[in-house]
Structure 1
Amino acid sequence: MGLTHPQYLVMLALWEESPLRVSEIARRLSLEPATLSPLLKRLEVAGFVDRRRDSGDERVVTVALTTAGRRLRRRAEQIPPAVIERLGMDVAELEEIRDRLGRLIDATRSTR
């Protein structure tokens, strides 16, 4: 697809809901907003997103999918089945791993 894994995660968030504020994308992906800036710039140059400053508060940047970004979703929908096939694991196993990793991440956050 021509995306890095972090770019793919940003696109997943935007395919769920667009537009989103940069701060909301950062929260959903557990990334710092400053980490997202170069990533979002590359997605914008690729034509997948538009970034706009809020007219009421120029510190707020909103990111929205472009038509090309929405079209890319069709290609992305082919990835999960291909990953499942490649791994040779069933969906229940992968969901269990995801849930355990989620609990691990939550535990590391609560110890801060």
Structure 2
Amino acid sequence: MKQLGERGSATVAIAGLIFALIILFSLTVAAVGILINKHKLNSATDLAALSAAIRLPMVEMACQQAKSELNKSGFTLTYCDGSDDWITVGGKAEIRLFTRPIPLFAQATAGW
């Protein structure tokens, strides 16, 4: 026989479970978004390094090419250095997770 104080306890438990599932789903979606953006940043940084390598041995022109390629993809050039036969490019993206900024970084090297 049910006690009077137990009425509605299943409703509260189910509401708590639904709330926990919503939080878990939101965190999963956010984590997938971070992974997708990191993959896009890696690809864009690789492309920027490869397109910059064409401009070698003129490192300054190569860095301008890398910056242009990263900007086209919506990312920021953070680092560019090279020599006559190689160039290293660093890129940055910033995404927001529940209004908190999360910086993502990638680096790629290309050469002859």
Query: Which TM-score tier does this pair reach, normalised by the shorter chain?
Result: under 0.3
Q: Which has the higher helix share?
A: 1
- TM-score, structure 1 as length reference: 0.27
- TM-score, structure 2 as length reference: 0.27
Q: Which has the higher strand share?
A: 2
